[in-house]
Amino acid sequence: MSGVPDDAPSIQPAGVLEGRVLAAVQQLCFPDDRWEADFVETLLGQPGSFGLLAVDEVGAPVGCALARVVGEDAEILTIGVLPQARRGGLGRRLVRAVCGEVERRGATALFLEVAEDNDAARMLYAQSGFAQVGRRPAYYIRREGRVAALVLRHSFPN
């Protein structure tokens, strides 16, 4: 039968060689906080770091995640879905894929920071089993002023 496969977009590992693609996706997801390709390549080259790239049925990248495991702690460095691919469950699948990979690598806790005014991401993380463990006032600088970062944690196994 033709049509979009059930698991589309597919989520694939991304390393230093995919750094430029990952950076391009990150930039489209975070227009006000764009990461240069060199920076993404450096992050991907660090021990414990890994990337994920979501690719649609014609091979176009539509989402990404970058995370790192240090000992028993892990951290999501960035995660995003292109605007045209949002609200289809891909963000949730990327979070699930990161959780699976960090647990496989031996992490017992996964942390991330999210802007207090980022309702979409906060809902996504709440649904994915993250709980708030901290708050950093005035952490993000915006044109309109500063916004706090919430520190969230997911524990394994839970």
Ligand X SMILES: CC(C)(COP(=O)(O)OP(=O)(O)OC[C@H]1O[C@@H](n2cnc3c(N)ncnc32)[C@H](O)[C@@H]1OP(=O)(O)O)[C@@H](O)C(=O)NCCC(=O)NCCS
Smaller CB separation from ligand X, 34 or 106: 34
Pairwise CA distance, residues 67 & 44, whole Å: 9
Q: Which one of 39-47, 51-59, 85-93, 137-145 is the stretch in contact with ligand X (CB under 6 A)?
A: 85-93
End-to-end CA distance of the chain: 38
- Could you say whether residue 25 binds ligand X (CB under 6 A)? no
Q: Least CB distance from residue 97 to ligand X, whole Å? A: 12
Residue from 101, 114, 130, 154 in contact with ligand X (CB under 6 A): 114
Pairwise CA distance, residues 51 & 94, whole Å: 11
CA-nearest of 139, 88, 134, 144 to 112 is 134
Q: How is the beta sheet containing 49-55 ordered, strand by strand?
A: 10-14, 49-55, 61-70, 73-81, 109-115, 145-155, 131-142
Residue from 10, 42, 127, 132 in contact with ligand X (CB under 6 A): 127
Residue from 22, 54, 91, 140 in contact with ligand X (CB under 6 A): 91
Q: Which residues bind ligand X (CB under 6 A)?
A: 29-30, 79-81, 86-92, 114, 118-121, 123-124, 127
